[in-house]
């Protein structure tokens, strides 16, 4: 576990309210319970998006390209604090205050191996500061790309994670989103 304490995931009832917690190692399987996650899209000062390729050791969607960072808030941790923590752990980046653009994004998807994701997954954007130093246990590759390139990949669906493919058109339509892709 890379010297980290065992992570716990917040379980949710059908209405999206906390209903307990479970060790992350036990949550993802063929009947994954609804739980709380987050997605973060990091942009640099030029308006480029940081995309990452998930490490082959990841339980869900190994080797798949996706948004900048995903994770799970710990019990009693705010989603914004969880975003900052995971960006620091996975990418060694500082970020400005994360802005939640899709607070009620929810999805479920089943990987080819039968592992299911089932999350209420608020979607954040933030500006990143500093060089990327990816944790190889989390990220096997990364790139800064124009938003339009990621939109094109999302339209094809297969080159990126199912959650990112669903998030992209919703993000693009979110009020104020264009400020992230304009840079500055």
| Six token digits for residue 183 | 């840079």
Only one residue has tokens 């500093």, namely 130
Residue 6 is assigned to a ligand binding site: no
| 70 catalytic per annotation | yes
Residue 8 is assigned to a ligand binding site: no
**Catalytic site residue from 40, 69, 119, 125:** 119
Q: Helix crossing, 147-156 with 162-173: angle to 10°?
A: 130
Strand 35-36 with 116-120, pairing:
parallel
Q: How far is CA 14 from CA 36, 59, 144, in A?
A: 12, 24, 36
Residue 89 is assigned to a ligand binding site: no
**Catalytic site residue from 69, 70, 121, 125:** 70
Q: How many C-beta atoms surround the C-beta of residue 55 within 10 A?
A: 17
Which neighbouring-strand residues pair with 85? none
- What residue numbers does the annotated binding site for Mg(2+) cover? 90
- What residue numbers does the annotated binding site for Mn(2+) cover? 28, 35, 72, 117, 119
Active site residues: 70, 119
- What residue numbers does the annotated binding site cover? 28, 35, 72, 90, 117, 119
């Amino acid at each position: 576990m890379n010297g980290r304490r065992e992570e716990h995931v917040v379980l949710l009832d059908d209405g999206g309210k906390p209903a307990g917690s479970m060790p992350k190692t036990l949550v993802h399987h063929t009947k994954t319970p609804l739980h709380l996650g987050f997605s973060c899209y990091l942009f640099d000062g030029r308006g480029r998006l940081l995309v990452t390729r998930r490490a082959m050791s990841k339980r869900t969607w190994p080797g798949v390209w996706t948004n900048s960072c995903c994770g799970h808030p710990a019990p009693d941790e705010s989603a914004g604090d969880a975003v900052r923590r995971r960006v620091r752990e996975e990418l060694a980046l500082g970020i400005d205050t994360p802005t939640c653009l899709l607070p009620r994004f929810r999805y479920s998807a089943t990987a080819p191996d039968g592992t299911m994701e089932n999350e209420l997954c608020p979607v954040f954007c933030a500006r990143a500061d500093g060089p990327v130093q990816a944790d190889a246990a989390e990220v096997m590759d990364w790139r800064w790309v124009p938003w339009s390139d990621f939109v094109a990949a999302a339209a094809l669906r297969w080159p990126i994670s199912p959650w990112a493919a669903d998030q992209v058109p919703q993000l693009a339509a979110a009020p104020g989103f264009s400020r992230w892709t304009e840079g500055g």
